[in-house]
Amino acid sequence: MAQPLTRAIDDYLDWAVVHAFKPGSGTPRTYRIKLNMYAKEFGHSTPVRSITGQQWMKTCGLYWAKASPETYNSGRRAAISFLQFCRDSEPPLTRAEPPRLWIPRPIPKDRDQSIPTAILTTLFDPKRYPLRERSLWSVLYDSSERLSAVLGLNVEQIAWESCYAKLRIKGGDTRYIAWTPDTNALLREYVGERRWGPVWLGEIPAWNWRDKPVEDMGPPAKNLSAARDEPGYGHLYRLSAHRSRVLFTELTGIGRPHRVRHSRLKALGSRDGTPSPMLRAISGHLTDKMLAHYSQPSPEQVAAFMAQVGGLMNQ
């Protein structure tokens, strides 16, 4: 009997977690999302062997034609790895192979996502942005941590006197993040008298808020009607990463909040000459190779250097 696509995907991911993916890696979750999107297009109960390589390539383009090269290539890798697993199974679940024309998209060489200093400093202007956003962006900048990890921070996890906190990061590991005394003061101002619960709160809950743990719920919302008879309705909730990204883009117009992380690491790596061990500790990267990009001088630094050394007329 031909195996349904969804069953084959589950079997592949169970195998890959043990034999293919690195421990603690976020790749299993990414591949599951990508492969489930394929399954939605093909049909969850469709036999794997009935789907051709051309159909896999076409669907990849359908979903991620306008996405970044990294996102497109990730969807391509997930499908190719899955097909290889299916062909190597005993008995083979499919004989479909990726078309030769299904090649990865080139990634532009200019990978500098840092925000120009003149624009970056405006993110912390109290006349421009609300206190919640400024405190969040300040922690993102100082700690160089990813948005989703920082938003998981609870008030009770913060060591106020030492300006640091322990949180769960990408891949399920835990590590400490630190920030400056100025950011600590801003964070204290936003948190106020609260002693527990999520640090950053919002009135718009995540789409799956009913499945979230009680720790993701904050205090009652003063200006939110509690007319609906549902547990938790009328409360504030942990600010979601999606909502935070939308607000950052709408308020600043400079793209994703992840650029704040790039800006901090770029400043530490190229402008301030931070030693590699310290930069790895701050960024969470495991090797110097992963930090090589941040050690490249920015256009501002190149211009300043050229002004300093002078040109032909100064010789």
139, 183 in Cβ contact below 8 A?
yes
Arithmetic mean of pLDDT, 97-122: 83
pLDDT score of 261: 84
16, 82 in Cβ contact below 8 A?
no
Given a cut of 60, whether residue 227 has pLDDT beyond it is: no
Given a cut of 90, whether residue 76 has pLDDT beyond it is: yes
pLDDT score of 315: 54
Domains, in order of start, for the chain: 5-88 (1.10.150), 117-200+239-255+281-286 (1.10.443.10)
∠153-156-158 over CA atoms, to 5°? Answer: 65
Phi, psi for 237 (deg, rounded to 5): -130, 165
Strand order of the β-sheet with 217-220 is: 201-202, 235-238, 217-220
Instruction: Give CA–CA dist 13/150, Å, rounded.
Output: 28
Q: Is the pTM of this model over 0.85?
A: no
Arithmetic mean of pLDDT, 227-246: 67
Instruction: Give CA–CA dist 187/163, Å, rounded.
Output: 10
Looking at per-residue pLDDT, the higher value among 1 and 9 belongs to: 9
Arithmetic mean of pLDDT, 58-87: 93
Instruction: Give CA–CA dist 81/20, Å, rounded.
Output: 10
Phi, psi for 85 (deg, rounded to 5): -60, -45
Cα separation of the two ends of the chain: 81
For residue 145, what are the β-bridge partners? none
Q: What is the pLDDT of residues 117-129, one digit of tens each?
A: 888 889 989 999 9
To the nearest whole number, what is the mean pLDDT of the chain? 82
Arithmetic mean of pLDDT, 85-102: 94
pLDDT score of 56: 96
